[in-house]
């Protein structure tokens, strides 16, 4: 099997890559695009659960508070209710991929309160005998902290994201080294699905202060405490680990938004079901090709504000569906029958 790393800019300690925290993308000869191929000719960026509003005059981010008035009596264990409503998506002051801002109406749904954990995924593997992409090809993409560079490392997988020489990942940490297909196979077993990127941003913005930069507020630190797990120090040569974690942190240990969602910024990037494209093209027909990539949301422990700043609620990134990296995880959602 031929593997190659596609870099938008050189990877080295002195590189000026804009988003070194994610720009490595792993390409293989597999083509796993059939899981939601019905989106191939969709005329909306995230399928027919959303409807665009008039966005011609939007110039500032204005999101009205949501309410829990229609919260169902029963919420699935480990999930939170995300009320529907109108959301301004993107940021005209953000990266080019976040522009232009536009408004959508999002239906209510349930969302996992935190990313899927190593322990969760182990239950799935033990129950089904599932073999991940990393296990089948025998390697994955990790960051070599000593040499400040990305590498393809043999022997890494969801259980040993740094390799067997570093021991197993703790059960309460987010599971990583999984492709898009691995994520949807787990979620199908769990009776869930991946969120669209619009649902993800809608949920990250919470109930009340929905115009904040981050899911928890506007500051990376509050009262001297870190609100999330990101790169601390000089990126990418020195991480002083002020927030307590060089790589993944246990889920739920940092700030939650007012819906009760944790890890909606930092810790690990999260797969969404959405195909990446410009917001300007969101209402145009889309055809999946070999170069199509999925949207990732949330940022990770590899993100620093001087580069990707990916833990902002409006931040987007993208990678091929069969990419397996040590800082990418996922969480599930469930649709709500409104009838």
* Domains of the chain by start residue, with CATH: 1-46+111-339 (3.90.1580.10)
Beta pairing, strands 109-112 & 333-335: antiparallel
Instruction: Provide the token pair at 63.
Output: 């999101």
**Which pTM does this prediction carry?**
0.85
Residue 7 scores a pLDDT above 60 = no
Q: List pLDDT tens digits, range 43-55.
A: 334 433 333 333 3
Instruction: Provide the token pair at 110.
Output: 């349930």
Q: List pLDDT tens digits, range 118-128.
A: 999 999 999 99
Report pLDDT for 14: 31
Confidence of residue 15 (pLDDT cuts 50, 70, 90): very low
- Residue 37's Cβ-count burial label (10 Å; 0-12, 13-18, 19+) is exposed
Q: List pLDDT tens digits, range 311-327.
A: 999 999 999 999 999 99
Q: Alpha-carbon distance 292 to 281, whole Å?
A: 14
Cα-based angle 249, 170, 137 (whole degrees, multiple of 5):
100
Q: Alpha-carbon distance 83 to 64, whole Å?
A: 13
Q: Which residues contact 16 (CB under 8 A, 6 or more apart)?
A: 9
Q: Calculate mean pLDDT across residues 132-158.
A: 97
Q: Alpha-carbon distance 60 to 51, whole Å?
A: 20
Q: For the ranges 67-76, 94-103, 149-158, 190-199, which has the lowest average pLDDT?
A: 67-76
Q: Calculate mean pLDDT across residues 68-88.
A: 94
Cα-based angle 290, 292, 293 (whole degrees, multiple of 5):
130
Confidence of residue 63 (pLDDT cuts 50, 70, 90): confident
């Amino acid at each position: 099997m031929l593997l190659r790393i596609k870099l938008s800019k050189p990877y080295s300690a002195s590189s000026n890559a804009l988003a070194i925290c994610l720009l490595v993308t792993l390409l293989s000869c597999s083509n796993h695009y059939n899981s939601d191929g019905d989106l191939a000719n969709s005329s909306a960026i995230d399928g027919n659960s959303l409807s665009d509003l008039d966005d011609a005059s939007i110039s500032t981010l204005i999101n009205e508070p949501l309410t829990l008035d229609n919260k169902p009596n029963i919420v699935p264990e480990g999930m939170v209710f995300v009320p529907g409503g109108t959301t301004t998506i993107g940021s005209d002051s953000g990266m080019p991929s976040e522009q232009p801002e536009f408004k959508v109406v999002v239906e209510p749904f349930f969302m996992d309160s935190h990313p899927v954990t190593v322990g969760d995924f182990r239950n799935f593997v033990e129950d089904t005998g599932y073999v991940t992409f990393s296990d089948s090809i025998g390697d994955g993409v990790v960051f070599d902290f000593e040499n400040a560079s990305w590498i393809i490392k043999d022997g890494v997988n969801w259980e040993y994201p740094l390799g067997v020489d570093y021991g197993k990942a703790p059960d309460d940490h987010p599971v990583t080294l999984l492709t898009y297909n691995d994520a949807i196979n787990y979620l199908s077993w769990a009776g869930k699905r991946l969120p669209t990127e619009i649902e993800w941003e809608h949920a990250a913005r919470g109930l009340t202060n929905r115009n904040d930069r981050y899911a928890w507020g506007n500051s990376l630190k509050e009262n001297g405490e870190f609100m999330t797990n990101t790169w601390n120090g000089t990126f990418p040569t020195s991480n002083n680990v002020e927030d307590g974690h060089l790589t993944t942190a246990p889920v739920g240990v940092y700030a939650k938004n007012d819906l009760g969602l944790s890890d909606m910024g930092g810790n690990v990037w999260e797969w969404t079901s959405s195909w990446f494209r410009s917001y300007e093209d969101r209402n145009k027909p889309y055809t999946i090709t070999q170069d199509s990539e999925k949207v990732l949301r949330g940022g990770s422990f590899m993100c620093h504000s001087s580069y990707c700043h990916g833990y902002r609620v409006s931040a987007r990134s993208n990678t091929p569906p069969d990419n397996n990296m040590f800082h990418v995880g996922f969480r599930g959602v469930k649709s709500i029958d409104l009838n």
